[in-house]
């Protein structure tokens, strides 16, 4: 085959998505910059270039389960495994595996001080495994569609920030699926599912709840859930720099330093770069922080479970990641090719 023909054939295969090259995933980028991932959750793809383990587990109504892994190391989820396993029945997402070495898997959330969930024993519901289909570079995958009453948690997480230690986190979410309930969160929370006071949480919030802080317009907004309040900046009520989000796929970033500094960033997960919506001092009464290190998804720290939203991927890191490494992660997210059709 001549070099010209070889180049043409390779380009054709690339166009069909049949040839892939190993590229750094989000956690490879964080690790290389000195901010290692201590939790990496996704039902859509591997977040390390070498990761080939399970992404999540689905459970049928008869109680049987199977794990869903990437098509290849560093690749997208093998949705056909789920489709075959769940054909003719109903499946829920029973475990969202942590791809980091910490083993911080997310499972059904237990009851909390805000109330019990609707499932037996006061636990929260699990997400319908087929309710949030999307495509990554043409491959069908499934997100985690959280309805009110649904929630995931790990109250015994390892390596996450505690006290006033620095941390970063990002999540890719559905920018059109939200409500004003409390609280569609992903991040750091109390280890006993009880509201233990201001500063005991640091999590990404997405929605248009306006009971505490707000941003521009009527939302939805990316804010920080720092416990006993959702904050869009230093002001407890309003930050004009925090815009209402109108993207189908949104990248949300919250990070907090050990100094009196925290930030909110965001952008379109399908194109473009991140913008900084707030960077500065913490709200009054929230420094020093008293983080406890549990991990939540879809609920508040006290198991408030009135919110809704859809989660595709997210990580938590040690340290206070630079804007530069977050920009590289955003570029990786965009390259993943989130779309609503193939």
Q: Quick one: which H or E segment has residue 153? A: strand 152-154
* Measured distance CA(166)–CA(179) in Å, rounded: 30
Catalytic residue among 167, 227, 242, 332: 227
Active site residue 326: no
Q: Which helix (H) or strand (E) holds 329?
A: helix 323-336
Q: Helix (H, G, I), strand (E, B), or coil: what is residue 14? A: helix
Question: Which among 41, 129, 147 is positioned nearest to 93, based on CA atoms?
Answer: 129
292 is catalytic: no
Distance CA 89, CA 236 (A): 47
CA dihedral (207, 212, 216, 221) in degrees, to 10, reads -20
Question: 3-class DSSP state for residue 82?
Answer: helix
Burial zone of 331 (CB within 10 Å; 0-12 exposed, 13-18 middle, 19+ buried): middle
How many CB atoms within 10 Å of residue 89? 10
From 195, 202, 225, 302, active-site residue: 302
Give the catalytic positions in this structure. Answer: 227, 302
């Amino acid at each position: 085959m001549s070099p010209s023909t070889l180049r043409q054939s390779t380009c054709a295969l690339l166009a069909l998505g049949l040839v892939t090259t190993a590229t750094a995933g989000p956690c490879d980028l964080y690790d290389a910059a000195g901010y290692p991932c201590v939790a990496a959750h996704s039902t859509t793809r591997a977040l390390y270039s070498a990761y080939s383990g399970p992404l999540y587990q689905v459970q049928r109504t008869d109680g049987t389960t199977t794990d869903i892994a990437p098509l290849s190391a560093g690749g997208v989820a093998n949705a056909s495994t789920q489709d075959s396993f769940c054909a003719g029945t109903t499946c829920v997402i029973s475990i969202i595996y942590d791809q980091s070495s910490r083993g911080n898997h997310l499972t059904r959330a237990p009851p909390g001080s805000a109330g019990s969930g609707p499932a037996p024993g006061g636990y929260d519901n699990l997400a319908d495994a087929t309710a949030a289909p999307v495509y990554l570079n043409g491959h069908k995958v499934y997100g985690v569609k959280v309805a009110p009453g649904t929630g995931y948690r790990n109250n015994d997480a390892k390596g996450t920030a505690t006290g006033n230690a620095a941390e970063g986190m990002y999540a890719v979410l559905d920018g059109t699926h939200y409500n004003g309930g409390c609280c569609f969160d992903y991040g750091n929370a109390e280890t006993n599912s009880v509201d233990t006071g201001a500063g005991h949480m640091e999590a990404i919030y997405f929605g248009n709840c306006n009971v505490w802080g707000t941003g521009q317009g009527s939302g939805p907004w990316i804010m920080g859930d720092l416990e006993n309040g959702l904050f869009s900046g230093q002001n407890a009520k309003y930050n004009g720099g925090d815009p209402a989000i109108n993207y189908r796929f949104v990248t949300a970033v919250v990070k907090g330093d050990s100094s009196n500094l925290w930030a909110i960033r965001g952008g379109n997960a399908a194109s473009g770069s991140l913008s900084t919506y707030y960077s500065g001092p913490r709200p009054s009464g929230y420094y020093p922080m008293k983080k406890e290190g549990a991990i939540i998804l879809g609920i508040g720290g006290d198991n408030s479970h009135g919110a809704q939203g859809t989660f595709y991927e997210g990580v938590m890191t040690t340290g206070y990641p630079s804007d530069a490494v977050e920009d590289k992660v955003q570029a990786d997210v965009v390259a993943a090719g989130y779309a609503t059709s193939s």
